[in-house]
Amino acid sequence: MNCVNFSICFFVRRSKKRQCYPWEIFTLRELQHATNNFHNDNKLGEGGFGSVYWGRTTQGTEIAVKRLKAITLKAEIEFAVEVEILGRVRHKNLLGLRGYYAGGDERLIVYDNMPNHSLIAHLHGHLADDVLLDWHRRMNIIIGTAEGIAHLHHESNPHIIHRDIKASNILLDSDFNAKVADFGFAKLIPEGGYLAPEYAMWGKVSESCDVFSFGILVFEIISARKPIEKLWATPHVKGGRLHNIVDPRLRGRFDPAQLKNVVRVAMRCTDRNPEGRPTMAEVVEMLKCGGGEVVVVKDVEGEEDDDGDDDGTISEVGNSRGHGRSWTSSRMR
187 is in an annotated binding site: no
Residues whose CB is less than 8 angstroms from the CB of residue 82 and which lie 6 or more positions away in sequence, other chains included: 109, 182, 183, 184, 185
Residues whose CB is less than 8 angstroms from the CB of residue 16 and which lie 6 or more positions away in sequence, other chains included: none
Q: Could you count the other beta carbons within 10 Å of the beta carbon of residue 333?
A: 4
- β-strands 170-172, 97-103: how paired? unpaired
Distance CA 269, CA 317 (A): 9
The CA radius of gyration of the chain, in Å to the nearest whole number, is 21
Q: Cis (ω within 30 of 0) for the bond into 274?
A: no
Cβ–Cβ < 8 Å for 283, 208: no
SS (H, E, C) 167-178: HHHEEECCCCCE
| 3-state secondary structure at position 250 | helix
Strand order in the sheet with 106-112: 24-25, 97-103, 106-112, 62-68, 50-56, 43-47
Distance CA 112, CA 209 (A): 27
- β-strands 24-25, 97-103: how paired? parallel
Is 310 part of the annotated catalytic residue set? no
**Element (DSSP H or E) covering residue 54:** strand 50-56
Distance CA 190, CA 332 (A): 8
Distance CA 67, CA 52 (A): 6
Catalytic residue chosen out of the listed positions 41, 130, 134, 164: 164
Distance CA 129, CA 171 (A): 18
Active-site amino acid positions: 164
Bind-site residues for ATP: 66
